[in-house]
């Protein structure tokens, strides 16, 4: 795939970690949006601080790029405790996890990213650790093996997952608090952008921020990425100031349209509407029409098209919604062939 198509991906690019870290909000008060999660978490943390005890374990769930890792860091910062960071795939054996758990100091935050991918034996060890702050370390093999119970310092586990549905029941039940992260509205993304522009020393005008926010798919990571690309354009082709016009022109260069669709998204819609009359048509047919793998169409393009209300997945195949026709500047056909609402 070519470079521009990665622009509106919610996953981080390889070279993006450093700039992301510099843009992470550091305190709950700096964290934009997610008012429900923020308020609930604030109560959990405040009450723990008053009782002088580590708070309940926290699970953060939601799509990529919405701020789960940022919130995990904030939790430790607000508690004034160190944070240990690892991820589900990195914990292959129960022994790895036992070593990590026994090295935690009192009150420390253990952040396990992608916790749904933790290996099963490690997960079982985690149950007891979360519940009783205890682990059984197995020494030896076969009939002579013995379990040595070890006390753990009370800690707070913060788990993050993009696939809460894949978590086993027993693991989910051991979190005292679950924060569900939602996509951001445009006003919230404008605030994210204004804050990032400040930190990166970019002259972003409010109308420029609004233009970028509308194309960011409800995702701060995408908003921040588009901001950097628009900044490049503003510096090279203009006076460095990001206005709506500049943002508009820049994002046209990068093939990101008004709704945040990229070239592939539009190719899929275009094939569906122009070549197959709006469907229903099978996904494999669409994939051939746009010259991509079926999986790319299904996993890269379709989720956002569905969320944006442009495409529906039906048992008979993919169907374009009236909004999809309108987005391409076309009028959907009607059963009777007469004038429709959309002709107005
Ligand atoms: N509420 C927010 N306010 C300001 N910036 C935010 C906010 N949420 C996310 N960001 C920005 O978006 C970027 C991605 O956020 P983060 O890494 O926390 O997302 P994530 O949910 O952990 O994603 P993933 O599922 O891919 O791990 C960060 O660099 C951060 O600057
Ligand atoms: Mg993360």
Four-residue CA torsion sign, 11, 17, 21, 23: negative
Q: What is the CATH number of domain 34-180?
A: 3.40.50.300
Q: What is the CATH number of domain 186-253?
A: 1.10.8.60
Mutate to test the pocket of ligand 1, among 13, 18, 20, 65 (most ligand atoms within 8 A of CB): 65
How far, in Å, CA of 119 to CA of 168, rounded?
12
- What's the whole-model pTM score? 0.91
Residue 3 DSSP code: G
The domains of the chain are located at 34-180, 186-253, 263-343
Closest CA to ligand 1's atom 12: 221
**How does pLDDT run across 212-256, given as a tens digit for each residue?**
999 999 999 999 999 999 999 999 999 999 999 999 999 999 999
Asked if residues 91 and 136 have their Cβ atoms less than 8 Å apart, the reply is no
The correct answer on CATH 1.10.10.10 for the domain covering 263-343 is yes
Q: What angle do CA 119, 125, 126 make, to 5 degrees?
A: 85
H and E: helices and strands count for the chain: 15, 11
- pLDDT tens over the chain, length 344 residues: 444 458 999 999 888 888 888 999 999 999 999 999 999 999 999 999 999 999 999 999 999 999 999 999 999 999 999 999 999 999 989 999 999 999 999 999 999 999 999 999 999 999 999 999 999 888 888 888 888 899 999 999 999 999 999 999 999 999 999 999 999 999 999 999 999 999 999 999 999 999 999 999 999 999 999 999 999 999 999 999 999 999 999 999 999 999 999 999 999 999 999 999 998 999 999 999 999 999 999 999 999 999 999 999 999 999 999 999 999 999 988 765 445 455 44
Any residues with CB less than 8 A from the CB of 143 and at least 6 apart, and which? none
**How does pLDDT run across 246-291, given as a tens digit for each residue?**
999 999 999 999 999 999 999 999 999 999 999 899 999 999 999 9
DSSP H helical ranges for the chain: 17-23, 35-51, 68-79, 94-102, 120-132, 169-173, 186-200, 206-213, 220-237, 244-253, 263-270, 283-290, 294-296, 302-307, 322-327
Report, as residue numbers or ranges, the catalytic residues. Answer: 68-69, 113, 162, 221
Q: Which residues surround ligand 2, an ion (CB under 5 A)?
A: 68-69
The Cβ of residue 284 has, within 10 Å, a number of other Cβ atoms equal to: 12
Ligand 1 site, residue 67, Cβ cutoff 6 A: yes
Asked if residues 247 and 35 have their Cβ atoms less than 8 Å apart, the reply is no
């Amino acid at each position: 795939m070519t470079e521009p198509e990665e622009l509106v991906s919610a996953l981080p690019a390889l070279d993006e970690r450093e700039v992301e870290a510099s843009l992470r909000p550091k305190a709950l008060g700096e964290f934009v949006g997610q008012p429900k999660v923020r308020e609930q978490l604030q109560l959990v943390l405040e009450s723990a601080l008053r009782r002088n005890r580590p708070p309940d374990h926290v699970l953060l769930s939601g799509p990529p790029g919405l701020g789960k890792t940022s919130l995990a860091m904030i939790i430790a910062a607000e508690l004034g405790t160190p944070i240990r960071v690892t991820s589900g795939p990195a914990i292959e054996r129960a022994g790895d996890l036992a070593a990590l758990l026994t090295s935690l100091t009192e009150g420390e935050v253990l952040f396990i990213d992608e916790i749904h991918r933790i290996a099963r034996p490690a997960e079982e060890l985690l149950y007891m650790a979360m519940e009783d702050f205890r682990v059984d370390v197995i020494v030896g093999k076969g009939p002579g093996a013995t379990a040595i119970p070890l006390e753990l310092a009370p800690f707070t586990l913060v788990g993050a997952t993009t696939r809460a549905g894949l978590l086993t029941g027993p693991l989910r039940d051991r979190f005292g608090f679950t924060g569900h992260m939602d996509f951001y509205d445009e006003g919230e993304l404008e605030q994210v952008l204004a804050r990032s522009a400040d930190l990166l020393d970019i002259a972003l005008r409010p109308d420029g921020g609004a233009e970028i926010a509308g194309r960011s798919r409800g995702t701060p990571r995408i908003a921040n990425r588009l901001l950097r690309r628009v900044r490049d354009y503003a510096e090279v082709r203009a006076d460095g100031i990001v206005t709506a016009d500049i943002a508009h022109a820049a994002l046209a260069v990068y093939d990101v349209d008004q709704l945040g669709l990229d070239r592939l998204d539009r190719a899929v819609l275009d094939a569906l509407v122009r070549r197959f009359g709006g469907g229903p048509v099978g996904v494999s047919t669409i994939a051939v029409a746009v010259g991509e793998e079926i999986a790319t169409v299904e996993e890269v393009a379709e989720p956002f098209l569905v969320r944006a209300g442009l495409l529906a997945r039906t048992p008979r195949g993919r169907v374009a919604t009236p909004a999809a026709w309108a987005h391409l500047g076309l009028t959907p056909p009607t059963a009777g062939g007469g004038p429709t609402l959309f002709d107005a």
